[in-house]
Amino acid sequence: MIPKILNRKKVNPSTPIFTGKKILEKTSIQLFKYNDKELIEYKDFDLRDFSGFPEDDHYYWLNIHGIHEVDKIKQIGNALHIHELYIQDILDVYQRPKVQDYNDFWFFNLKSTLPSKDWSLEQEQLSFVLNKNVLISFQERQGDHFQHIRERLHKHLGIVRERGVDYLLFLLMEAIMDNYFQEVARMDAELDQIGRLDISKDPSPDIINTIEKFRNKIHLIRKNISPFRDFVARLEREKFKSILDKNIKYYYEIQDNYLSLSDNCERMEMKLESISNLFFSIQGHRMNQVMKTLTIVATIFIPLTFIAGIYGMNFSYMPELNLKWGYFGILGLMFFMTVGMLYYFIRKKYF
C-alpha cells in the first residue's frame, strides 16, 4: 500500500490532515474518571462543552476510537493545549514511532500489530498523551487491545485505580508489547516448520522468498519496538513529573520485554541465516554435480569427436577406408575408449 503524501504546502498551517483510511463510521470517545474509591465511565463522551480536565483527586483516561474526524481530534488537542505538530503526528498514520516530551506532557506514537492471515504485518497506530492526571489514547480502529485493562478498572482488580495514569500507561504499553510477543511466537512456529523441511530433496526458490518476507517482518518489528527502549532509557537518565518515582520500576519491565523481543528477533534472524546458507550450499552442491556430469560427458566425447573428425576430412588416400573391417574397427576403438574412460572415472570416484 502506498502511503498518502502529507502535503506540508498548506495555505493554513493550523489545519491538520488525516493520512489514513477511514475504518470506523464515526469517532467514538470514552472517558474513565476514577480513583481508588470510585469509577465513572462515559461510554459516549460529549465534546460540546469540553474544555479540559480539572486537577482534582481523580484520574482521567480519555480513549478515542477512530481518528478520521479531524475537527474532534483538533478540539481535544486545543482543550488540552497540545501543540499542533503533535496533532498532525496523531493524524499521520505513517508517522515513524517515537517518544517526545513537550512542556508538561509526554507524547507517544507507537505501532501495534494486528492478527493477519498473510505475510504482511498488519499495524495500527496508537498515540498517547500523558499529563499529570490525564491520559489520552488515540486508536485507528476499535479493538480489544485494552479490554482486560477496562475490566480491571471496573472490577477494581490489582492496583490500577490506586497508581494513577502513569501506571495506566505502563499497562497499555505492556498490552501493545504483548501483541508483538504473540506475533513473534507465531512467526517462530512457522519458522520451525520451514526448518523441518528436507531442503536437500526439494530446494525450491520459494524458500528464499519466504525468508525475505520473514526478514522484512522482523525488521519492521524491531523498528516499531525501538521507542519502548528509548523511553525507558530516558527514564533512567532524567526525571519526569508526569511519572511518579514509585511507578518507574514498572517501566523497567517494559525494558525487559523489549530485550526479550529483541533476543527472539535475533534468534529468528540466525535461523533464517542458517536456512539461507543451507539452501545455497545445497544449490551449489547440486550445480557442482551437474557440472561434473557435463564435464565427464564432454571429456568422453572429445576423443570420439577427434577420431570422427579425422575420418571426415575426405582425403583420397586414407588406408583405413579401403580395409574390409575398417569401419567396424574404428567403431570398436571408439567403444573401448569410452568404456576405458568410464572405468577410469569410476575408479577415481568422479561419479
Residue where a domain terminates, one of 247, 282, 317? 282
What CATH number is given to the structural domain containing 33? 3.30.460.20
- Do 133 and 235 lie in one domain? The reply is yes
Place 306 in a pLDDT band, splitting at 50, 70 and 90: confident
Sequence-distant (≥ 6) Cβ neighbours of residue 276 within 8 angstroms: 208, 211
Do 177 and 225 meet the contact criterion of CB atoms below 8 Å apart? yes
- Do 203 and 57 lie in one domain? The reply is yes
Total tally of structural domains belonging to the chain:
2
* β-bridge mates for residue 128, sequence order: 108, 137
pLDDT greater at residue 86 or residue 205 = 86
Q: Is 10 a member of any domain?
A: no
Q: Is 260 a member of any domain?
A: yes
What long-range pairs does 48-53 form, CB within 8 A, spacing at least 24? 50/75, 50/76, 50/79, 51/79, 52/79, 52/80, 52/81, 53/80, 53/133, 53/134
Residue 114 pLDDT: 75
Sequence-distant (≥ 6) Cβ neighbours of residue 199 within 8 angstroms: 207, 275, 278, 279, 282
Residue 135 pLDDT: 93
Sequence-distant (≥ 6) Cβ neighbours of residue 112 within 8 angstroms: 123, 124, 126, 145, 176, 179, 180
Q: Is 271 a member of any domain?
A: yes
On the question of pLDDT at 346 being above 60, the answer is yes
Q: Is 247 a member of any domain?
A: yes
- Do 275 and 312 lie in one domain? The reply is no
- Do 273 and 291 lie in one domain? The reply is no
- Do 146 and 134 lie in one domain? The reply is yes
Q: Which domain holds residue 128?
A: 28-282
Residue where a domain terminates, one of 228, 249, 282? 282
- Do 59 and 141 lie in one domain? The reply is yes
Q: Is 72 a member of any domain?
A: yes
Place 120 in a pLDDT band, splitting at 50, 70 and 90: low
Residue 13 pLDDT: 58
Least confident residue range of 117-121, 173-177, 302-306, 314-318 = 117-121
* β-bridge mates for residue 129, sequence order: 107, 136
Residue 261 pLDDT: 92
- Do 214 and 292 lie in one domain? The reply is no
Distance, CA of 134 to CA of 42 (rounded, Å)? 15
- Do 159 and 291 lie in one domain? The reply is no
Least confident residue range of 11-15, 87-91, 174-178 = 11-15
Q: What is the mean pLDDT of residues 310-330?
A: 78
Q: What is the pLDDT of residues 37-74, one digit of tens each?
A: 999 999 888 887 788 888 888 999 999 999 888 888 88
Question: What does the radius of gyration of the chain's CA atoms come to, in whole angstroms?
Answer: 35
What CATH number is given to the structural domain containing 341? 1.20.58.340
Q: Is 262 a member of any domain?
A: yes
pLDDT greater at residue 207 or residue 63 = 63
Q: What is the pLDDT of residues 322-341, one digit of tens each?
A: 777 888 888 888 898 888 88
pLDDT greater at residue 136 or residue 101 = 136
On the question of pLDDT at 212 being above 90, the answer is no
Residue where a domain terminates, one of 236, 258, 282? 282
What's the whole-number average pLDDT of the chain?
A: 83
Q: Is 246 a member of any domain?
A: yes
- DSSP alpha helices (H): ranges in the chain? 70-79, 84-91, 147-155, 160-163, 165-195, 206-237, 245-310, 326-347
On the question of pLDDT at 214 being above 60, the answer is yes
Q: Is 14 a member of any domain?
A: no
Place 82 in a pLDDT band, splitting at 50, 70 and 90: confident
Give pTM, 2 decimals.
Answer: 0.77
Residue 3 pLDDT: 55
- Do 33 and 130 lie in one domain? The reply is yes
- Do 94 and 194 lie in one domain? The reply is yes
Residue 283 pLDDT: 81
Residue 30 pLDDT: 92
On the question of pLDDT at 315 being above 90, the answer is no
- Do 37 and 155 lie in one domain? The reply is yes
On the question of pLDDT at 123 being above 80, the answer is yes
Q: What is the pLDDT of residues 230-286, one digit of tens each?
A: 888 887 777 777 777 888 888 888 889 999 999 999 999 998 888 888 888 888 888
Would the CA dihedral through 129, 130, 134, 135 be positive or negative? positive
C-beta neighbour count of 60 within 10 angstroms: 18
- Do 154 and 73 lie in one domain? The reply is yes
Distance, CA of 170 to CA of 250 (rounded, Å)? 7
